[in-house]
């Protein structure tokens, strides 16, 4: 049985990816191979800048995306640690692996 803290963390990750626009934004950022500004993301998705910003906030809070200030701009990049920890979380929830939360915790790296 997963402990409550781990279950809450995993649930927040799944909620962050429960919106198709957020999945598209995350895929775009991951595929770009470099940090992207909000304007670059808006050009690729069919939603307004304010909507993209709201989705980026959710992705940032869940730590799938990291923000790096550059002058007056904010650039968004994928949190590389999530590439390994999220699939592990899905495996744990589905009962496929007994991984300790500390081993898959998605931490912010700077």
Q: What is the pTM of this model?
A: 0.78
Beta bridge partners of 70: 73
pLDDT digit string (tens) for the chain, length 110 residues: 888 998 898 888 889 989 999 999 999 999 998 999 999 999 999 899 999 999 999 999 999 999 999 999 999 999 988 766 766 767 776 777 644 444 444 543 33
Number of Cα atoms under 13 Å in the Cβ half of residue 20 = 3
> Rounded to the nearest 5°, which phi and psi values hold at 103?
-75, -20
CA separation for the pair 11, 77 (Å, rounded) = 22
Q: With beta carbons less than 8 A apart as the criterion, state whether 103 and 55 touch.
A: no
CA separation for the pair 92, 75 (Å, rounded) = 32
């Amino acid at each position: 049985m997963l402990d409550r803290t781990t279950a809450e963390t995993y649930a927040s990750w799944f909620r962050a990816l429960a919106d198709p626009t957020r999945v598209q934004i995350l895929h775009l950022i991951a595929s770009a191979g470099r940090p992207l500004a909000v304007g670059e993301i808006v050009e690729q998705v069919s939603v307004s800048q304010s909507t993209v910003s709201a989705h980026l906030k959710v992705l940032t809070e869940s730590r799938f995306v990291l923000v790096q200030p550059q002058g007056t701009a904010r650039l968004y990049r994928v949190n590389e640690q999530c590439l390994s920890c999220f699939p592990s979380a899905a495996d744990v929830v589905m009962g496929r692996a007994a991984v300790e939360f500390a081993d898959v915790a998605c931490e912010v790296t700077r």
